[in-house]
Amino acid sequence: MQLQSMYQDIILDHYRNPHGRGLREPFEAEVHHVNPTCGDEVTLRVHLDGDTIADVSYEGMGCSISQASVSAMYDLVIGKTVPDALATGEHFRTLMQSKGDPAVAEKLEDELEDAVAFAGVSKYPARIKCALMSWMALKDASARAWSSAPAPTEGAQS
């Protein structure tokens, strides 16, 4: 059956037992993103420590792909600097645009860890938006947290 290529066990595990779920304090930015074609929603908060992502907390509802994606993203970005996390997000986007090409998934395996299991989603154009929603929310929230922070990195560097 074709379905298993998309619904990898890793994805279903994240869906059933999401990592880092729930909204927490403190945070510098909160965003709400929706996927208007299907009604998937995520509320996501980012807490920065300097330029490092100290916490990402979230609540949301949606399909298994959207919910598993935010859980896998949580594992990937905590402890990364904002630029590194956003670079990882770009790798994930590349994976989503790979149309199931195994060479792309193989190349990104180290970078994306569990999230490389989403490679199968890239064969289903209608589901790519589900997988990308949380990454879009992270990008948005990080940018807001970054701009609202009183120039913490400059302070640390000088």
Partner 1 sequence: MTQTVSRPAGAPQAPLPLDVEAIRADFPILGRTVRNGRRLVYLDSGATSQKPRSVLDAERDFYENHNAAPHRGAHQLAEEATGLYEAARATIGAFIGAPENEIVFTRNTTDAINTVAYALSNAATAKEPAFRRYAVGQGDEIVVTEMEHHANLVPWQQLCERTGATLRWLGLTDDGRLDLANLATVVNDRTKLVAVTQQSNILGTINPLGDIVARAREVGALVLVDGAQSVPHQPVDVTALGADFLVFSGHKMLGPTGVGVLWGRYDVLDALPPFLTGGSMIEVVRMEGSTFMPPPQRFEAGVPMTAQVIGLGAAVEYLQRLGMDKVEAHEQALTGYALARLAEIPGVTVIGPPDTVARGGAVSFTVEGIHPHDVGQVLDDLGIAVRVGHHCAWPVVRRYGVPATTRATFYVHTGYDDIDALADGIRSAQQFFGVAAGGVS
Given the rule CB under 8 A, which residues bind partner 1?
Answer: 1-3, 6-7, 12, 37-41, 61-65, 124, 127, 130
Q: Which is nearer to partner 1, 45 or 127 (CB)?
A: 127
Q: Which is nearer to partner 1, 37 or 157 (CB)?
A: 37
Cβ of residue 2: shortest distance to partner 1, in angstroms?
Answer: 6
Cβ of residue 12: shortest distance to partner 1, in angstroms?
Answer: 8
Token digits of residue 59: 């609540």
Q: Which is nearer to partner 1, 15 or 27 (CB)?
A: 15
Q: Cα–Cα distances in Å, from 129 out to 61, 71, 78?
A: 14, 16, 23
Q: Which residue has tokens 């208007």?
A: 36
- Strand 40-49 versus strand 52-61 pairing type: antiparallel
CA atoms within 13 A on the CB side of 135: 25
Cβ of residue 97: shortest distance to partner 1, in angstroms?
Answer: 20
